[in-house]
A and B are shown apart, each in its own frame.
Chain A
């Protein structure tokens, strides 16, 4: 570990590589985190299946590559399919646990995550997969820093996706209804907003965002049926750290998380990758408690 640390100090260009990789992958984390915050803020449901929705999107892209279709084309398809899937999940599961105990909704999404994981395992097997996009790799700084075009394109797509969602939320009728319901569901209902529809749409939109993020993840990284939980944890870290309703904060935190992971992965080694993410979750929660304790409050 110390050797790796030394390397970072001796070869500053390595830092740039890690920074770049971190930012590029962090941008996709931001998408999933935004979706989580959306569902959380609107329906107060903490979706533990978030990461598994991402992996589902990833497998759609993977399937495309198996059919010799370029995975980028999977993006709109995954978004649409996952939108439908999200709608179905809402209708059959989420809708029945919304008003109830917060733990019940958490447990319901967790159960959903389990089912999805196992189904993916059955269908696709447990090997790690990638959806090869076949884009070129660029070399910067005399070949010491590599950036694959895939990652750049993924960044652009993530940005475009995020921008369109934001515009949608601000301008469209449904977007406004969502924001109204998030602020005060009862008031919105009284004013004629069909909150049930809003919730369904929000959950479905979240699933679509996750699906799209998953396509990108499978292109620039890898997927595996049981990786979902780690993605869920990443989203939670970002949302807990930033709080709800703070989109710029989510983006910055997500990029920061991506970078932090790259550095810790380099210094501590690949086996500690998952461990460092989970530890970050625990640390963020401890930090929040300390923050709240100053106000004589708890984290709830």
Chain B
């Protein structure tokens, strides 16, 4: 199994605050990798760094063997590395179907393609994916009118529409009604298994991440604290201490 994302010695500071210090981790192809850690440990910053939101201070990041730490967000997205946001980012004044349509992959878009219309297959795929996340009946609603949980599902569907190779999910179950979380976990697993999308997931909900991930990294105070399978992480004293603040 090859490595999709290879983070080597990445550090990032903002002003005087060190958000990430010398972090190295690997996200294997086809699997589900987790990223946990108490608040302020630098998880979202790491995600931001990986997808190119800001330049790294030091270290490098490889995606499918290619160095991406100097690329912009758009270029990295077109390589197939996508992320979802903690606060949902959707196109509020368009309806769900339109949100899906505009999320088709743009990596092969030639200049003249801009002026074409979307072919029926694209519409069908949009409907399929909306059905997959359970939003089919709401597909004509304006995305901005959806509830927070529904927007999260839409964002997930949009990401799938984009045919990514890797999907970085930032707290996918946060703010979701507990009764719906199982359904979401199920869909994440299906996306991973059926569509072959590698997942890298930040989560606070321990039940979810232990259920979902095959390999978990734990950050604390901007540094990599521990790594391992769900069982070993759960029993790792350092991880427990970090969460309970015994430091």
Contacts and interface: CB of A to CB of B under 8 A. Distances in A.
A295 B73 CA distance: 12
Contacts of A100: none
B24 to A, nearest CB: 22
B8 interface: no
Interface string A272-300: 00000000000000000000001111000
Interface residues of A, number: 4
Q: Which of A295, A296, A297 has the most CB of B within 10 A?
A: A296
Interface stretch (B48-56, B108-116, B140-148, B162-170): B48-56
B72 interface: yes
A296 B76 CA distance: 13
The binding surface of chain A is classed by DSSP as loop
Nearest to B73: A296
B72 to A, nearest CB: 6
Interface string A76-100: 0000000000000000000000000
Nearest to B52: A296
Contacts of A297: 54
Interface residues of B, number: 6
Interface in B24-58: 52-55
Contacts of A295: 54-55
Nearest to A294: B55
A294 B73 CA distance: 13
A43 to B, nearest CB: 24
Contacts of A296: 52-55, 72-73
A297 B54 CA distance: 8
A296 B73 CA distance: 9
Contacts of B73: 296
A116 B55 CA distance: 46
Contacts of A294: 55
B59 to A, nearest CB: 16
B206 to A, nearest CB: 31
Nearest to A297: B54
Nearest to B70: A296
A298 to B, nearest CB: 11
Contacts of B55: 294-296
A294 B54 CA distance: 9
A245 to B, nearest CB: 14
Contacts of B54: 295-297
A244 to B, nearest CB: 16
A295 B72 CA distance: 10
B10 to A, nearest CB: 15
Interface string B110-152: 0000000000000000000000000000000000000000000
Nearest to A293: B72
Contacts of B52: 296
A300 to B, nearest CB: 14
Nearest to B72: A296
B141 to A, nearest CB: 23
Contacts of B72: 296
A296 B52 CA distance: 8
B71 to A, nearest CB: 10
B132 to A, nearest CB: 33
Nearest to A295: B54
A146 to B, nearest CB: 48
A109 to B, nearest CB: 25
A148 to B, nearest CB: 46
B78 to A, nearest CB: 16
A93 B19 CA distance: 42
A297 B14 CA distance: 14
Interface in B71-99: 72-73
A296 B75 CA distance: 12
A297 B73 CA distance: 10
B13 to A, nearest CB: 13
B101 to A, nearest CB: 25
A294 B55 CA distance: 8
B104 to A, nearest CB: 24
A84 to B, nearest CB: 40
A81 B52 CA distance: 52
Interface in B182-212: none
A223 B210 CA distance: 71
B12 to A, nearest CB: 12
A261 B84 CA distance: 49
B52 to A, nearest CB: 7
Contacts of B53: 296
Interface of B: 52-55, 72-73
10 contacts: A294-B55, A295-B54, A295-B55, A296-B52, A296-B53, A296-B54, A296-B55, A296-B72, A296-B73, A297-B54
Given A295-B54, A296-B55, 5 more contacts: A295-B55, A296-B52, A296-B53, A296-B72, A297-B54
A-B pairs, 4 with minimum CB distance: A296-B54, A296-B55, A295-B54, A296-B72
